[in-house]
Structure 1
Amino acid sequence: MLGVGAVSYASILGAFPFFFMDRYTLKSPVTHLVVKRLLPAPLLGLMSAFTVVAVRCPEFENGIEVMDRNGKVVGVSKKAGEKAVKETALSRGILFGTTFFLPAALMHFVERANTAKTPRALASIRMLLIMAVLAGMLPTSFGMFPQCGEIKREELEAEILSSTEETVLFYNRGI
Structure 2
Amino acid sequence: MLSLSSVQSGTGEIIPFAFRPPAFLPIVTPLLFTSLLPHREAKHMFIWQFLFYAYTAGFTIANGNATAKAEDIPLPQKQLLLCTGTVFYAASVGTFPTFAMKRYGLNSPTVKTFYRRILPIPLVAGLSAFNVMIPRGVEFENGIEVMDKNGNVIGVSQKAGMKAVRETALSRAALFGTAILIPDSLLYFIKRTHYLVRNPQALPGMRMILTFLVLGMMLPVSFSIFPQLGKINRDDLETEILSSTEETELFYNRGF
Q: For residues 12-37 of structure 1, give each alpha carbon's deviation from its aligned partner in whole angstroms, at most 9, with x where no partner exists.
A: 11111223334444333222211110
- The residue correspondences of 1:99-118 to structure 2 (distance < 5 A) are 99-116=179-196, 117-118=198-199
Q: Is there any run of 5+ residues in structure 2 with no aligned partner, and where?
A: 1-80
Backbone CA RMSD of aligned residues: 1.4
Find the counterpart in structure 2 of residue 129 from structure 1: 210
Partner Cα distance (2:189, 2:88) in 1: 33
- The residue correspondences of 1:87-98 to structure 2 (distance < 5 A) are 87-98=167-178
Q: For residues 43-90 of structure 1, give each alpha carbon's deviation from its aligned partner in whole angstroms, at most 9, with x where no partner exists.
A: 111111111111101001001100011110000000000000000000
Distance apart, 1:7 and its partner CA: 1.6
Is residue 144 of structure 2 the alignment partner of residue 64 of structure 1? Answer: yes
Is residue 221 of structure 2 the alignment partner of residue 140 of structure 1? Answer: yes
Partner Cα distance (1:64, 1:128) in 2: 39
- The residue correspondences of 1:77-92 to structure 2 (distance < 5 A) are 77-92=157-172
Letter of the 2:231 partner, please give it: E
Q: Percent identity?
A: 55
Letter of the 2:204 partner, please give it: A
Distance apart, 1:119 and its partner CA: 4.1
Partner Cα distance (2:184, 2:99) in 1: 21
Is residue 148 of structure 2 the alignment partner of residue 32 of structure 1? Answer: no
Structure with the greater relative contact order (CA < 8 A, sep ≥ 6): 1 or 2?
1
SS in 2 for 1:115: helix
Partner Cα distance (1:114, 1:57) in 2: 50
Q: For residues 93-141 of structure 1, give each alpha carbon's deviation from its aligned partner in whole angstroms, at most 9, with x where no partner exists.
A: 1001111121112111121224223344212211110111011100110
Query: TM-score, normalising length from structure 2?
Result: 0.65
Task: Name the stretch that deviates more: 132-141 or 15-24.
Answer: 15-24
Find the counterpart in structure 2 of residue 18 from structure 1: 98
Partner Cα distance (2:91, 2:83) in 1: 12
Query: In the comparison of the two structures, how many residue pairs are matched?
Result: 175
Q: 1:131 to 1:21 in 2, by over 3 A?
A: same
Partner Cα distance (2:140, 2:148) in 1: 21
Partner Cα distance (2:224, 2:193) in 1: 35
Partner Cα distance (1:143, 1:39) in 2: 27
Task: Name the stretch that deviates more: 136-145 or 1-10.
Answer: 1-10
Letter of the 1:144 partner, please give it: I
Letter of the 1:51 partner, please give it: N
Task: Name the stretch that deviates more: 62-71 or 112-121.
Answer: 112-121
Letter of the 1:126 partner, please give it: R
Distance apart, 1:153 and its partner CA: 0.6
Q: Is there any run of 5+ residues in structure 1 with no aligned partner, and where?
A: none
Partner Cα distance (2:234, 2:190) in 1: 52
Find the counterpart in structure 2 of residue 166 from structure 1: 247
Partner Cα distance (1:155, 1:114) in 2: 58
